[in-house]
Structures are given as structure tokens and as C-alpha cells.
Amino acid sequence: MTTLPVPRDAIVPEPALGLDALATRAAGLAEGARAANTRKAYRSDWAHFSAWCSEQGLAALPAAPTTVGLYLAAHEDALSVATLTRRLSAIAVAHRMAGHPMDTRYPAVRDVMRGLRRAKGVAQDHAEALTVPLLRRVLAGCGDRLIDTRDRALLLVGFGAALRRSELVGLDHADVAVGPEGLRVTIRRSKGDQEGEGQVVAVGRTGTATCPAAAYGAWIAAAGLSEGAVFRGIDRHGRIGRRLSTDAVSEIVQRRAAAAGLDPTLFSGHSMRAGFATSAALAGVEERLIMRQTRHKSAQTVRRYIRDGELFARNLAAEVGL
């Protein structure tokens, strides 16, 4: 049989991957299906479960449903329902990744979780909302140092765009377009957009002392930034460092809250996002517009902020004559 010559510009396919390489690749893709923070939490959760099973002389993988139920019950007092729910998810994911079925609806697991929810309650602790009056109080303590300029921009942009901590520290210079109308903030990836389709949020100019667009522009100019991370660390000598971490955002919020005479333990990096939603609800902004800015997929979550914002809309105690 005559062998035909291969044209020079022909595309020669790469050698097929072996099964072991394909398995490794598939595992990597499956691992990447979850957010980095979720993967980190799951790894920690699984390590804790595995260690507990080892101490008790029980098999962790595959684990019997009764073992999982015992683990949940053993940590009833030490962990919240939310944390135990995540631990259960981590255990189930680890089993599925290893090819073992894990039915969390098995009575030995399901009934324990139901009992825990009933005994402990499912209400979660939420960070105090940094509403507009509180935000202005916090900002009043910012001076003219470079770190003050950065913190003012971080707080106002985080509030105005209703950003999560990860979204705020993930911003690059190229993600924020400054125009006459305000800021056009592109969020490349977020908790609600794991596929990385990207979302755009508009933050209009207000012409006030608390204008997010003006604060952002002042920080960029003062720091001399033209590329890379927007929000960065600053050392005691005023030198600008690397991109801030999500924990650093919480520390900034709490430090500024304390300086303003507020209880710092009530606030976190989520307080700016919660503050926007609550303030918008209090101002009578429509639910759909709040959701468009916060990018919440669940109306139930946003309605909680609306309820908080309207809590003292009317003084019923005074209206009934007290």
C-alpha cells in the first residue's frame, strides 16, 4: 500500500492520553468545578472527619452512614448547623470523587441532621449592615494618609457596587472603567458566577463627599496605579505592596469601625454589601433593582435585607399610644 505524504501545513493530532493521564485530568476538572474557597473548606472538613474516624477506629472511606451520623452528633456542641451541613457536603463529595456512593438521605444521617436543626435552630449570624449613616461615621475618621485614601475607596466602592470580599480584592485596574457618569465595574468571577461569564455593575457619581467614583479616582492617582491589582497592602512606611486578601478586607472594616466608636465584632467584610442592600431597601428602591446591583439569584436573601431596612419604618409602639 502506498503511503501518502503529509502536507507541511497539515495539523497532526497530539498523541492520545493514556487512561491514567485522563483520570488525573478528569479529577482536576472535577476539582475545579467548585470555587477555591469551597475546595479549601472541603479539604479542611474532610481532614477533620478523617482524623476523627481514625481516633474512633472507624473507616472514613468508604464510611458507613452510621459513622457519619455519629460524627455529626459528636460535634453538636462545638459546631454550628451551617458548619455541620458543610461538613456533610464535604464528606459526600469526597465519597463521590472516590467512586463510593454516599446517600445523605439515609435515615442514620438525615434524622441526625433534622434533630440538630430542631435543637440548635437554623438561623445564621449575620454581619451588621454598614448602612449609609454608619458608613459616613466610619469615613469621617479617614484622614489624608495614603492608607486613608485606600480605605475610603475600598469602603465606598465595596458599598456602591455591593461587592463580596473576593470580588473587591479580585479587581484589577483594567476591570474598572472611569467615565463622566461614574464607574463601570467588571467582575470577572464571583460566587454567583463560577463559570466566569463576567458581570458588570454601574456605580454612578453622586457629587458628594462620599462619592465612590471620586474616592476611587483619588486612590488610583495617589497610588500611581496603571495596571494590576486595585486594592493593595500598604506597609508602615507607606510603601504599596501586593493585592489585599479577603481577610484583610474584614480587618480594615473592623479597624475603621472601632476607630469610629462602633463595636468591631459586629462588622465584617460582608457589612458593605449588606449595608447597600439594607440602605437601598430603606430608601424604597425596588427589589429587582437591588438584586440587579447585588447580583443575588435568590429573592429570599434580598427580602431579608428589605425586612431589616423596613423594621423601624413605622414606630408602632408610638402609634398605639405608648
- Residues annotated as catalytic are 164, 191, 270, 273, 296, 305
Q: For residue 139, give the 3-state DSSP assignment.
A: helix
> Which residues, listed in sequence order, are joined to residue 186 by a DSSP beta bridge?
200
DSSP secondary structure code for residue 201 in this structure: E
Q: Which of 52, 108, 107, 104 is nearest to 79 (CA)?
A: 52
Reduced 3-state DSSP string for 161-198: CCCCHHHHHCCEHHHEEEECCEEEEEECCECCECCCCC
Distance CA 115, CA 87 (A): 16
Find out whether 48 and 87 touch, Cβ atoms under 8 Å. Answer: yes
Q: Which three cell numbers stand for residue 13?
A: 493530532
| Under 8 Å between Cβ of 181 and 201 | no
CA angle, 266 then 270 then 271, to 5°: 50
Sign (positive/negative) of CA torsion 299, 300, 302, 303? positive
d(CA 54, CA 63): 11
The angle, 0 to 180 degrees and rounded to 10, between the axes of the packed helices 271-282 and 146-160 is: 50
- For the chain, the distance separating the N- and C-terminal CA atoms, rounded to the nearest angstrom, is 103
